[in-house]
Amino acid sequence: MSPVTGNLHVQANQPPGVPPLSLTGERTLPDVPAENYWFRRHLAVYEWIAARVPGQRVIDMACGEGYGAAVLARTAASVTGVDANPEAHEHARLRYVMPGLRFERAMVERYGRPGACDAVTFLQTIEHVPNPEDTLRHLRGLLAPGGAVYVSTPNRLTLAPEGAPKSDNPWHLREYLAHEFRELCEAVFESVEILGLYHARRLRAHAHALALGWDRVHRALGITELFYDRFTPSIRAADFTLSDRRPLSEALDFLAVCR
């Protein structure tokens, strides 16, 4: 279930007239079975936020393929998905057509006006930007009074090799430990709550199986490819959970709720 890099997988079964996107390692995609773990891992966070923004005006920054903006639009009064990539923008604009949802092609740092929204989502992107504090200040400036910015990023401890400053993902400029991520957010926002994303249900059972030696068993039986070809596409967003009650050092990703 490691990230797939390179232009090796393309979205399947897209609606007529919607150009499929290819995996590059920079963003995750639905409709690619081998990528399903990462897609559901990100989707779980979007669904958690969607339950907390009913009736609000939301900007989904660096929205990529557009699936997250569409999830938010199920509950929000309006959602604007913003992404600078022309292929992603065209795909999102054509695929996700629903009331209150629109897409804009623009740079995150240049989009928006003061007080334009009640919530901003900026998920799995802060690790890509060269000036993260400046970017967070820009996002804070878009909020109406009482608004919140939701920022997620992977936990370096569970993504990178032990002792390494970052993983081998070439798109990531910096990966954070929990205290580093908190310090970054608290430099900009007065109130910061950080939750961790963890495996649940079948993924938690899978982790227990690995601890008991499942890796040795499936290799010995010669069923590795057969098992994961079925297991990975079966993963759902419910196989992840957000919590503030477990050690952040064990989290897969961090989600900061910033006000």
Note the pLDDT tens digit of each residue in 38-53. Answer: 999 999 999 999 999 9
Percentage of residues of the chain with pLDDT beyond 90:
91
Domains of the chain by start residue, with CATH: 33-198+241-258 (3.40.50.150)
Task: Record the pTM.
Answer: 0.94
CB 203 within 8 A of CB 238: no
Q: How many Cα atoms are found within 13 Å in the side-chain-facing hemisphere of 106?
A: 14
Q: Is the pLDDT of residue 119 over 60?
A: yes
Residues in contact with 171: Cβ distance below 8 Å, sequence separation at least 6, in sequence order? 25, 26, 128
Q: Is the per-residue pLDDT at 25 higher than 90? A: no
d(Cα 50, Cα 74) in Å, to the nearest integer?
Answer: 8
For the segment 238-255, what is each residue's pLDDT rounded down to a tens digit? 999 999 999 999 999 999
- Are the CB atoms for 242 and 196 separated by under 8 Å? yes
**Alpha carbon distance 39, 31 (integer Å):** 9
Q: What is the pLDDT of residues 133-148, one digit of tens each?
A: 999 999 999 999 999 9
Taking only the tens place, the pLDDT of each residue in 52-90 is 999 999 999 999 999 999 999 999 999 999 999 999 999
